[in-house]
């Protein structure tokens, strides 16, 4: 009796596992498509920020942002605070590991 229950349970679990694998592949494909879409949107927004920086360069203020990691200082400067933070973090990540270059560690001053 126990063998029949075990075999029945095993028989029902294998098809669900096979279905789960197919569903897994579909989920991965869907997530990859979403990542591609988000990457395109990020590039579009970065272009918009760059264009806005070109227009705002003649503005009456600038942001200078700094991040210090292991005694080294990395800076970014722009009329847009977010862009200045991004420039400082990008300069940091070019020389250091990403985990040490966090945007919340950046300090900015408005001039």
List the chain domain ranges.
1-56, 63-110
Check if the beta carbon of residue 94 is closer than 8 Å to that of residue 81: no
Q: Residue 6 has what pLDDT? A: 56
Give the DSSP letter of residue 79. Answer: S
DSSP per residue over 57-71, as a string?
TTSS--EEEEEEETT
Q: Residue 16 has what pLDDT? A: 52
Q: Residue 67 has what pLDDT? A: 92
pTM value is 0.48
pLDDT tens-digit series, residues 56-100: 555 678 899 999 988 899 999 988 888 899 999 999 988 888 788
pLDDT tens-digit series, residues 10-24: 555 555 555 566 788
């Amino acid at each position: 009796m126990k063998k029949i229950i075990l075999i029945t349970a095993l028989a029902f679990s294998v098809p669900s596992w096979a279905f789960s694998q197919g569903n897994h592949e579909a989920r991965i494909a869907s997530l990859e498509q979403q990542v591609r879409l988000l990457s395109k949107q990020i590039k579009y927004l970065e272009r918009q920020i760059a264009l806005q920086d070109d227009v705002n360069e003649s503005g009456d203020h600038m942001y200078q942002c700094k991040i210090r990691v292991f005694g080294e200082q990395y800076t970014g400067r722009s009329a847009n605070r977010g862009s200045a933070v991004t420039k400082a973090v990008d300069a940091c990540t070019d020389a250091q590991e990403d985990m040490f270059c966090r945007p919340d560690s950046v300090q900015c001053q408005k001039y």
